[in-house]
Amino acid sequence: MKVLLLLVLVSSLSMAEMLERTQMLMGTFATITLPQESRKEQQKSFEILRSVERSLSSYDPEADVYRLNHEREASITVYSYEAFLLSQRYYQESAGYFDITIGSITKGLYRFGEEERSVSRDERQKAKVGFDGMHFNAKKASLESGVTIDLGGMGKGFGVDKVVAYLKIQNITQGRVALSGDIRCLDICKMAIQNPFGEGEIATFTTKEANTAISTSGNYRRYIKDKSQNHLIDPKRKHAQQVFASITLVSHGANSDIDAYATAASVMPLEKAISFLDGLDVGYLLITNGGEQYINDSLENFVDVLKFRSNPKFTCETH
């Protein structure tokens, strides 16, 4: 399995001695960094992530989502119900570009990782995709024939939110929670975005305030043969996105929100993605496959000291 690690440098600017632990959860490396005296809270945080995984996993036979995909009807936990409600909202807000029933392609057809499987255009077009093929209430959910769901477009952000909510109750205000490209800085952090075209970093920045959410989505390592067959599938065209190499969103809102918004924007045409993101309270850094960078004015509300790697290939526009 290929693990997507997008934000490659995360460091707290706090002078306090910190304890960092990493476990393999939710299909990636989950890293939680807290003050040394917060060992019990750190362990509880990993337990929370395991609970989220037991609800939203497509691979764990005991998980709600796995059972739903295989049995077509399943009882669901509170976490699953909340995630489904959020996914319904994201579907509406994005005009259908965020759609968890894309799993009919990403889970039902493609195989990413050690047992790779590419998919023909005819197979993709025949796949049943559409949120109206899913039905749920607080107790149970069902799928129409041919529909498969995939919570990968918001699940990691959702997991981060659940841990952060717990840490807030515990009055912990230093540290960070990181699941691949979905990160919450409890205090001020310095970040680096991995170069989507090669090794090293493409940009660095420092968060301006505590309690900042960051999400990065893009064509890094999860693709088959080449990046034209990547894991970011446009649910409308049923085709892998070809516009963006990387999208980074920064906000003071929920991680699940910007995780989903980054997923949706990544499969939109360029101008539609910019229009969509400009209507949200987020800062963004978009990098196209051609190397163009797009930054909105709102980004300065969330970050300081934004620096780019010097490379004449890149051009930059602001919105």
Nearest to 105 by CA among 84, 91, 126: 126
Alpha carbon distance 33, 41 (integer Å): 11
Alpha carbon distance 68, 50 (integer Å): 19
Note the pLDDT of residue 4. 38
Note the pLDDT of residue 196. 83
Note the pLDDT of residue 224. 46
3-state helix/strand/coil string of the chain = CCCCCCEEEEEECCCCCEEEEEEEECCEEEEEEEEHHHHHHHHHHHHHHHHHHHHHCCCCCCCHHHHHHHHCEEECCHHHHHHHHHHHHHHHHCCCCCCHHHHHHHCCCCECCCCCECCCHHHHHHCCCCHHHEEECCCEEEECCCCCCCHHHCHHHHHHHHHHHHHHHCCCCCCEEEECCEEEECCCEEEEEECCCCCCEEEEEEECCCCEEEEEEECCCCEECEEEEECCEECCCCEECCCEEEEEEEECCCHHHHHHHHHHHHCCCHHHHHHHHHCCCCEEEEEECCCEEEECHHHHHCEEEEEECCCCCCEEEEC
- Over its length of 319 residues, how does the chain's per-residue pLDDT go in tens digits? 333 334 445 566 665 689 999 999 998 999 999 999 999 999 999 999 999 999 999 999 999 999 999 999 999 999 999 999 999 999 999 999 999 999 988 886 655 555 555 667 777 777 899 999 999 999 999 999 999 999 999 999 999 999 999 999 999 999 999 998 999 999 999 998 888 887 888 889 999 999 999 999 876 554 445 455 556 888 888 788 789 989 999 999 999 999 999 999 999 999 999 999 999 999 999 999 888 999 999 999 999 989 887 554 445 566 6
Note the pLDDT of residue 93. 98
- DSSP lists the bridge partners of residue 204 as 192, 307
Note the pLDDT of residue 209. 95
Note the pLDDT of residue 115. 59
Please report, in angstroms and rounded to a whole number, the separation of the first and last CA atoms in the chain.
Answer: 37
Q: Are 172 and 189 in contact (CB under 8 A)?
A: no
Does domain 7-32+178-318 fall under CATH 1.10.3720.10? My reply is no
Q: Are 181 and 215 in contact (CB under 8 A)?
A: yes
Nearest to 84 by CA among 138, 133, 48: 138
Residue ranges covered by each domain of the chain: 7-32+178-318
Q: Are 207 and 225 in contact (CB under 8 A)?
A: no
Residues 6+ apart with CB under 8 A from 71: none
Residues 6+ apart with CB under 8 A from 233: 102, 105, 106, 124, 239, 240, 241, 267
Q: Report strand pairing: 244-251 vs 212-218.
A: antiparallel
Kindly calculate the radius of gyration of the chain based on its CA atoms and give it in whole angstroms: 19
Note the pLDDT of residue 229. 53
